[in-house]
Amino acid sequence: MKRIAGSFLVALALGAVIWAQGTLSINGAGATFPYPMYSKWFDEYHKKNANLQINYQSIGSGGGIKQVTEGTVDFGATDGPMNDEQLKTFQDKHGFGILHFPTVMGAVVPTYNIAGVEATLNFTPDALAGIFLGKITKWNDPGIAGTNKGVKLPAEDIVVVHRADGSGTTYCWTDYLSKVSDEWKTKVGKGTSVNWPVGLGGKGNEGVTGTVKNTPNSIGYVELIYAESNKIPYGNVKNAAGTFVKASLAAVSAAAAGTAKEMPDDFRVSITNAPGKASYPISTFTWLLIPEKFSDAAKRDAIKGFLKWALGEGQNYAEALSYAKLPKEVVAKETKAINKVQ
């Protein structure tokens, strides 16, 4: 009995060791915003490169920034770019810097679940700020009803749903609200984790979507694909030019059009509340966080190879999943920047 157990253990250990050779495992973590995109990408890339496994865990942008800084994962992902302080922390800790690489663009939509309301609601910036500040508490408030004549809104309490974890989606949402509402800017501010005045917390885009789907009279903010694939309605938002725009790939690309030609070298840019009649005001790039230096040459080459693929063939998968492709100018600039990774 003991001998059987012993040899079983030995076989298992050997098996684990032998299995370990030959497969390169790269670990990444971060944003839930692009998770549907990335999980598809890493799956497809693995099919093309059977010896390479890129394991991505969607724990939120905050988690991505933190773990890549700690060095427990090989790369991170975020939709809220690292601020100067976080960049400095990384630099101090590792002795080299970290690079942002935009991968796709997406939209954060206000998604809701109101009993009896199937229509697409129109939200003004003031309405959204008011709801999330806790000042607009009922669905039939004039701030909402005013722009939705013809829709019968119930006199029910609004259940606000936000993120419980550190989130780039939150960053984009609060970045937008800070731009359109001074009260939001001073009271709450923008960031991946804020002190929410009201609401329930959901974990990840997944958690918020699930909570909205299951809670009547609720409103939350999620990436476009989450609302679409779960078939929950999302509203139009009034952009800087005064038009109510529904989130779509064209609208997101319109929002990015202005910045494409003036993209900063570190690729950190905000495209919320962008000018232009067709722009969707709550759009954002999402970035991969790649350290500048890799001690493991195999990992470095694998990541660089993946980045090239993602900027080329990978872009073709984006639209089917409701993410917008990167503008050509950005792709060109990024391809040159890949060489910075050593």
Partner 1 sequence: MSAHLRWRKFVSHFMLTMTGVCAFVAVSVLFFILGYLVFHGGTSINWNFFTKLPAPVGESGGGMANAIVGSAKLLLFAALIGVPIGFFGAIYLAEFSGGTVAFIVRYAADLLNGVPSIVIGIFAYSLVVLPFKHFSTLAGGFALGLMMIPITLRSTEEFLRAVPRALREGAMALGASKSRTIATVIVPAAYRGILTAILLAFARVAGETAPLLFTAFGNRFWSTGWGQPTASLPVMIFTYAISPYDDWHRQAWAAGLVLLGLILVVNIVARGILARGIAVPRS
Partner 2 sequence: MATTTTTVPSAGPVAGSRSFLSRLREGDEIARLITFLFAASVVLLTLLLVFELWQGSALPRHKFGFNFFRTSVWDPIFDQFGALPFIYGTLVTAVVSLILAVPLGIGAAIFLAELAPARVSDTLEFFIDLLAAVPSVIYGLLGVFIVVPLMRAYVQPALKDSLGFLPLFKGPAYGVGFLTAGIVLAIMVIPYIISVSREVLLSVPRDQREAALSLGSTRWESTWNVVVPFARGGIMGSIFLALARALGETMAVTMVIGNTPAISASLFSPGYSIAAVIANEFTEATGDLYLQSLIELGLVLFLLTFILNGVARLLIMATSQRGSGMGNV
Q: Give the interface segment with partner 1, choosing from 85-93, 141-149, 207-215, 233-241 (CB under 8 A).
A: 207-215
Which does residue 195 touch among partner 2, partner 1, none (CB within 5 to 8 A, set by kind)?
partner 2
Question: DSSP string covering 216-227, please?
Answer: TTEEEEEEHHHH
For residue 132, the surrounding DSSP H or E stretch is helix 125-133
Tell me the C-alpha distance between 235 and 237, whole Å.
Answer: 6
Q: Which of 143, 110, 50 is nearest to 246 (CA)?
A: 110
Number of residues that bind partner 1 (CB under 8 A): 38
Please tell me whether residue 36 binds partner 1 under the rule CB under 8 A: yes
**For residue 198, what are its two tokens?**
């009201």
Number of helices (H), then strands (E), belonging to the chain: the values are 13, 11
Strands (E), 31-142: 52-58, 75-78, 98-113, 122-123
**For residue 260, what are its two tokens?**
């494409």
Number of residues that bind partner 2 (CB under 8 A): 34
Q: Residue 39 in contact with residue 11, Cβ under 8 Å?
A: no
Please tell me whether residue 200 binds partner 2 under the rule CB under 8 A: yes
Q: Which of 59, 61, 30, 56 is nearest to 45 (CA)?
A: 56
Closest CB 59 distance from partner 2, rounded Å: 5
Please tell me whether residue 5 binds partner 1 under the rule CB under 8 A: no
Closest CB 228 distance from partner 2, rounded Å: 23
Q: Which of residues 177-196 bind partner 2 (CB under 8 A)?
A: 189, 191-196
Of the residues 4, 16, 115, 155, which one makes contact with partner 1 according to CB under 8 A = 16
Q: Given the rule CB under 8 A, which residues bind partner 1?
A: 9, 12, 16-17, 19-20, 23, 25, 27, 29, 35-36, 39-40, 42-43, 46, 53, 55-57, 70-73, 202-204, 206-207, 209-210, 213, 225-226, 229-230, 321
Q: Given the rule CB under 8 A, which residues bind partner 2?
A: 29, 59-67, 69, 86, 89, 157, 159, 164-166, 189, 191-196, 199-203, 214-217
